[in-house]
Amino acid sequence: MPKTSEPKGTTEFAALSDALETYRPPCHADDRYTADDLTPSTLAELQAGCDLCHIRTLCAAYARAARPKIGVWAGKHYRPTTHRTKGNTHD
């Protein structure tokens, strides 16, 4: 029987979603975390929020698995790769 494949990060997303049932992280309702263009100072501010987040480990696991196209996840800035410069996919 062929194996069905789940989208990348499905398991990690489930764990993150469970944690979000009882915890509001610093990124809650802050659209800047999913913006595609951030100033360096805003990025630093968002990363400081991630540093305080109680579910950062779960968030990082999801981001590593799912490789989001944009946004700040567990302190890493993910951006589209179409305009990538050498060695500059993440901050």
Instruction: Give the shortest CB-81-to-ligand SF4 separation in angstroms.
Output: 20
69: number of Cβ within 10 Å:
11
Instruction: Give the shortest CB-33-to-ligand SF4 separation in angstroms.
Output: 6
User: For residue 43, with 0-12 CB atoms within 10 Å meaning exposed, 13-18 middle and 19 or more buried, which class applies?
Assistant: middle
Determine the size of the site formed for ligand SF4 (CB under 6 A): 13
Instruction: Give the shortest CB-53-to-ligand SF4 separation in angstroms.
Output: 3
Side-chain-side CA neighbours of residue 50 (13 Å) = 20
Binding site for ligand SF4 (CB under 6 A): 25-27, 33, 49-50, 53, 55-56, 59, 72-74
